[in-house]
Amino acid sequence: MSHLPPPNVYKKDGVWTVDGRPRESLLPLSRATPSNTPGFTLITVLITLPPRGALPPHTHSGAAVTGNIISGRVLNQMNDEEPVYYGDGEEERGWYESPGCHHVRNENPSETADAVFVAVFLVRSEILEEVGMEGLVLLDAVREEEARDKEEVVGNFGVGGEKGEGKGEGKGEGKGEEGKGEKEINGVVQEGQKKIDEGQKRINEAVKGGGEGGKEDKEGVKENGEAR
C-alpha cells in the first residue's frame, strides 16, 4: 500500500481535516505519575474515529505512545513506513510509537462503523505542563500555520522590507534635524559668550584706566548688557 498518496489536509469549517472527512473525539480516562518513571506522566485516552474519520498528520510532543483497538479497524502509517491495518480481522490490534514518531496516517476505512481505540501516552511532566493535553496531538498543519503567522509578523515590523526602510529613513531624518537644531543652539551660546567676554574686557580696561572715563565705560557696558 506504499502507493497511497500523502493525506490531503485542508480546513473545513475552521477545522483541519483530511479531505474534509470527520475528525476524532477524545475522552481522557486516567492520569498518573508512576514512581518508577520519575519526571514522567502516564495518560490514557479513549479515541473514537467515526465512519470515514481521519486524523491529519501529527506528532506527540516527544511522548511514547501505544494504541490498542477496542472495536473496528484503523489504517496507520508511521514516518516513511508502509501503511498497516489494525483491529478487527487483522493480525494485530495494537501498535507502538516511539518518542518523536511522525504519525502520518490515522484513518477509519469503514463507511458504517466507528473505530474505537485506547491510546496510552508516556510524556515528560514538564513538557505536559507546557503544552497541555491538546499538545499531545500536535498537527503538522497547526505548526506550519503558526510558522507562517510568525513570518508575517516579522515582515510587518519591517525587517529588510519597505516598512523597515521607511522607518530607518524617518529615524535618520529625525536625528539629522535634531543635530541641526543642536548646532544652531551652540552657535547662539558661543556668540553670547563672545559678547560677555568683550564686555568683561572693557570693564577691566576701564578699571585699570580709572577716572571718569572708566566710569563711563562701565555704565556703557552695563547699558549694553541690559539691552541684550
Predicted local distance difference test score (pLDDT) of residue 153 = 78
Which residue(s) pair with 39 in the sheet?
A: none
- Asked if residue 224 lies in contact with residue 217, where contact means CB atoms within 8 angstroms, the answer is no
User: Mutual orientation of helices 211-227 and 162-209 as an angle, nearest 10°?
Assistant: 160
- Closest among 79, 73, 83 to 117, alpha carbons compared: 73
Domains observed in the chain = 9-144 (2.60.120.10), 162-227 (no CATH)
Cα dihedral sign, 83-88-89-90: positive
**Residue located via cell numbers 506504499:** 2
At 46, list the grid cell. Answer: 479513549
Predicted local distance difference test score (pLDDT) of residue 166 = 47
Phi/psi for 148 (5° steps) reads: -65, -40
Going residue by residue through the chain (228 aa), what tens digit of pLDDT does each one get? Answer: 556 889 999 999 999 999 999 999 999 999 999 999 999 999 999 999 999 999 999 999 999 999 999 999 999 999 999 999 999 999 999 999 999 999 999 999 999 999 999 999 999 999 999 999 999 999 999 999 999 988 877 777 665 545 544 444 444 555 555 555 566 656 655 666 676 667 666 655 654 555 454 445 445 545 544 544
Distances (CA, A) of 111 to 30, 89, 107, 180: 30, 16, 11, 78
C-alpha–C-alpha distance, residues 180 and 171, integer Å: 14
- Closest among 79, 57, 20, 65 to 144, alpha carbons compared: 57
pTM exceeds 0.75 for this model: no
Predicted local distance difference test score (pLDDT) of residue 200 = 64
Predicted local distance difference test score (pLDDT) of residue 137 = 95
